Amino acid sequence: MLNLYSTQIESLSVHRIGNKSRNEPLFISKSPYLFNDELNALLKEYFFKPFREKEENYFQFSNDTDLEFHALHKIVKNVFEAPDTIHEQSKRIGNLLYEESQHPHIKSGELYVTYLENCLLDNKKVNAIGIFKSELKNDFLQFEEQSDDLNLLLQQGVSLNKLDKGCLIFNTEEDSGYRILSIDSNRYDTKYWLEQFLGVEAFADSNYHTKKYIKFCQDFAKDVILPAEDKKEEVMFMNRAVNHFAKNDTFEETSFLNDVIENPDLIPEFKHYKVEKAPKYNIEDLTEFPIANTAVSAARKKIKNVINLDTNVQIKMDFINPESAEKFIEKGWDEEKQMYYYLVYFNKEQKD
């Protein structure tokens, strides 16, 4: 869990990064930017707001050979060892980003490199490096009094309502590539920011494992349970799966299968599906891991618990009390109408 409420911007360096393939220049500022309290407050909101609104999916620096060959990781390590060198190191960051800005779709923009103190990560205070980029420019009006008239001046600038790209690199987990959060509001060049510049891969923590395994279960329900049984059983399987995650602190696969899969014939199907599909979810050897409650809560909100019928009728299941659907909903076939039906038992209708 991340809390940036007390985080302070201790240093700010600003450079302009052009598109190298279009021969746009790289402008490196000689000195760090000296900002006042008013601008500091505005920049904190501009830089941090996207991370408060986004689900916490962590990354880490990655290199096929060794992290010592990862250029940005080396720069970040130098900064954490000597924070007063951040402006000089920000020049190196600017050059790295410029070298990766060669695709025609990549927009030029301003690069902001900050040193951040007092970030609260998992209830521990850590320092961080913030790297942000603004790309899209917006038209705005300025007004100027001239004699007896008010003139309108059309200008362009950066809106503080939306950050285009950014990352927070926390001074923790150094040996495995640090803990990193990233946002990218523009989807036309995602490889450029995450893969080519940052050079990161997903941080395989409990949140990552929980989210990936639940997503795997969703696809198993859709690809195997739905064709083998029906929509009700697909929904009920995910009901049981999410509830299993919610009531346990640790995931253990055998216990999960015994608790969640009611039809024993589907257990071999589940194991076969996992062997076939596991690389897609990075869960090949994953049979036991700590469960992240935040990932379970997020998944519960996204999973659909509704049966949509072709007669424009919806049946909504209860994720919290799945036994209601088991007890009070029956599926059948009407020979006369040649149609399926759901029989729903109840005592009285609930008032809104």
- 352 band by pLDDT with thresholds 50, 70 and 90: low
What is the CA 86 to chain-centroid distance, rounded? 27
Q: How much is the pLDDT for 157?
A: 87
- What single DSSP character describes residue 84? G
The arithmetic mean of pLDDT across residues 160-167, rounded, is 92
pLDDT digits (tens, 9 = 90+) for 304-335: 777 788 888 887 776 556 566 667 787 888 88
Q: Minimum mean pLDDT among 11-15, 147-151, 170-174: which range?
A: 147-151
Residue 246 phi/psi, 5-degree rounding, is -70, -30
Contact in structure between 346 and 329 (CB atoms under 8 Å): no
The arithmetic mean of pLDDT across residues 344-348, rounded, is 81
Q: Which helix (H) or strand (E) holds 15?
A: strand 8-17
Give strand pairing partners of 165: 133, 184
Contact in structure between 217 and 303 (CB atoms under 8 Å): no
Using alpha carbons, list the distances in angstroms from residue 201 to 45, 191, 196, 213, 291. 27, 12, 11, 18, 21
pLDDT digits (tens, 9 = 90+) for 196-227: 999 998 888 888 899 999 999 999 999 998 88
- What single DSSP character describes residue 225? I
Q: How much is the pLDDT for 314?
A: 81
CA–CA gap between residue 104 and residue 77 (Å, rounded): 31
Q: How much is the pLDDT for 55?
A: 73
What are 317's two structure tokens?
A: 């299941």
The arithmetic mean of pLDDT across residues 4-11, rounded, is 94
Question: Quick one: residue 248, left, alpha or beta (phi over 0 = left, psi -120 to 50 = alpha)?
Answer: beta
Question: What is the helix, strand, coil percentage profile of the chain, to 5?
Answer: 40, 30, 30
pLDDT digits (tens, 9 = 90+) for 243-293: 899 999 999 999 999 999 888 888 999 999 998 888 888 888 889 999 988
**3-class secondary structure, 275:** helix
The arithmetic mean of pLDDT across residues 343-348, rounded, is 82
Q: Which helix (H) or strand (E) holds 81?
A: helix 71-81
User: Look-up: residue for tokens 């020979």?
Assistant: 335
Write down the H helix ranges in 82-183. 86-100
Average pLDDT, the chain: 88
CA–CA gap between residue 137 and residue 6 (Å, rounded): 30
